[in-house]
């Protein structure tokens, strides 16, 4: 992209997390192409201040209202507009001044601002899988209505998106999502019962935030990705498979009706799918590490162990059931993972909390947006009551 094009203005929702900080590295490496318009963070005001002073956005949001004064006074010598609170996320998402939103807020909290961006017809670089897990039918319908392109940032969905370029008229027979298997690949319940927080956070291939690292260790992450893929690529649940590929070199695959399979491969580095989404449809030159086949003499594939890693099975059941079941699954999982990270429950208890919550929250087959919000709240309260928070 030559410098005579106007710069793409980026609104980065969740700028202090793992995806957000890597997105800013990509933007910094391409100063002729991108500029930062909006930055938002939940509680990390120190890093947000640093980012704001470096990238000089039009506006910043800190969700934690207790951090507002610190942020405001640190930026008082600048022209940056400073907002705070949950509602401010939607307020800045409603701005006309940006071109592309990177939706990188972790969890259910990302849904409302992402929906607002969709309703504005903005390009959405979607790194928040929970938005589609919770309300995929509504989000994708609104994206069509408002002509809002959704470009996935998750490495697996980015891989599928890339494999589908030029294949618009060719129906998908199935997609194959690859999973590293996380840190406990091959382990059985008698080992997992004693797993502690720090052990579960050690992912073999990817550098991720705490929530996603735990979801990867329980394989819930792959279940959420299956549900996200169903909506992103307009598939039936029986067209989506998961295969364990511990090297994380093939990021996902698409099989077409002639039996041919396309795979997207590369070094496991999140900056690649982030840059692809920001630069789409162009591939921007970079100096990221290059993949070396000589260092990977073999690539392996195996079936996931659904008996041990039951979260994946629960996610598949929720996807098949549809309605508000994936929303309930996600809410219970967010509470359970939070409790595990606080050492309130054991590793295997995460699955027990999710399973009991799914059994106890009323099923709604075609929920409205407000019913999704209600289901989320009910599921959180029920999950929390199991943990006695």
The domain ranges of the chain are 8-152, 157-307, 322-389
pLDDT of residue 106: 87
Domain 8-152, architecture per CATH? 3-Layer(aba) Sandwich (3.40)
Residue with tokens 């506006």: 59
Q: Which residues pair with 38 in a beta bridge?
A: 11, 59
Strands 240-244 and 172-179: parallel
pLDDT tens-digit series, residues 158-201: 999 999 999 999 999 999 999 999 999 999 999 999 999 988 99
| Length reported for the chain | 389
Kindly state the helix (H) or strand (E) to which residue 102 belongs, with its residue range: strand 100-103
Residue 203: pLDDT over 70: yes
The per-residue DSSP string of 157-186 comes to HHHHHHHHTT-TTS-EEEEEEEE---TTTT
Domain 322-389, architecture per CATH? Orthogonal Bundle (1.10)
Per the CB < 8 A criterion, the answer to whether 92 and 12 are in contact is: no
Question: Using CA atoms, how far apart are residues 118 and 145, in angstroms rounded to an integer?
Answer: 9
Highest mean pLDDT among 2-11, 202-211, 361-370: 361-370
Residue 388: pLDDT over 90: no
pLDDT class of 389 with cuts at 50, 70, 90 = low
Longest Cα separation, the chain:
62
- Taking alpha carbons only, the member of 86, 154, 142 closest to residue 118 is 142
The end-to-end CA distance of the chain, in Å, is: 52
- Taking alpha carbons only, the member of 358, 321, 322, 369 closest to residue 116 is 369
Could you give the C-alpha distances from 376 to 65, 312, 335, in angstroms and in order?
A: 23, 20, 11
- What is the pTM for the complete model shown? 0.94
């Amino acid at each position: 992209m030559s410098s005579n094009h106007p710069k793409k203005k980026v609104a980065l929702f969740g700028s202090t997390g793992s995806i957000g900080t890597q997105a800013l590295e990509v933007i910094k490496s391409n100063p002729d192409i991108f500029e930062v318009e909006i930055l938002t963070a939940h509680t990390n005001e120190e890093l947000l201040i640093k980012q704001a002073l470096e990238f000089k956005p039009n506006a910043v949001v800190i969700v934690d209202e207790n951090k507002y004064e610190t942020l405001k006074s640190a930026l008082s010598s600048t022209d940056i507009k400073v907002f705070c609170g949950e509602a401010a996320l939607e307020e800045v998402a409603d701005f006309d001044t940006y071109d592309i939103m990177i939706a990188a807020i972790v969890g259910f909290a990302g849904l409302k601002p992402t929906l607002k961006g969709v309703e504005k017809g903005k390009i959405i670089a979607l790194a928040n899988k929970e938005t589609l897990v919770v309300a995929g039918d509504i989000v994708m319908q609104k994206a069509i209505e408002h002509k809002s392109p959704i470009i996935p940032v998750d490495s697996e969905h980015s891989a599928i998106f890339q494999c589908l370029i030029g294949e618009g008229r060719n129906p998908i027979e199935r997609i194959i999502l690859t999973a590293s298997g996380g840190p406990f690949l091959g382990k059985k319940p008698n080992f997992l019962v004693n797993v502690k927080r720090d052990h579960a956070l050690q992912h073999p291939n990817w550098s991720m935030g705490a929530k996603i690292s735990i979801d990867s260790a329980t394989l819930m992450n792959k279940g959420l990705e299956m549900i996200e893929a169903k909506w992103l690529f307009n598939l039936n649940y029986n067209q989506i498979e998961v295969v364990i590929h511990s090297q994380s070199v093939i990021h996902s695959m698409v099989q077409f009706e002639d039996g041919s399979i396309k795979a997207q491969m590369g070094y496991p580095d999140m900056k690649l799918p982030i840059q692809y989404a920001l630069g789409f449809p162009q591939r921007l030159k970079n100096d990221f590490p290059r993949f070396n086949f000589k260092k990977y003499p073999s690539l392996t594939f195996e079936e996931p162990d659904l008996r041990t890693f039951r979260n994946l099975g629960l996610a598949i059941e929720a996807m098949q059931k549809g309605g508000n079941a994936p929303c309930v699954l996600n809410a219970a999982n967010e509470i359970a993972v939070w409790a595990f990270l606080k050492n309130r429950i054991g590793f295997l208890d995460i699955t027990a909390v999710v399973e009991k919550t799914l059994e106890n929250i009323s099923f709604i087959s075609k929920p409205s947006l407000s019913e999704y919000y209600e289901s989320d709240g009910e599921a959180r309260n029920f999950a929390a009551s199991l943990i006695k928070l």
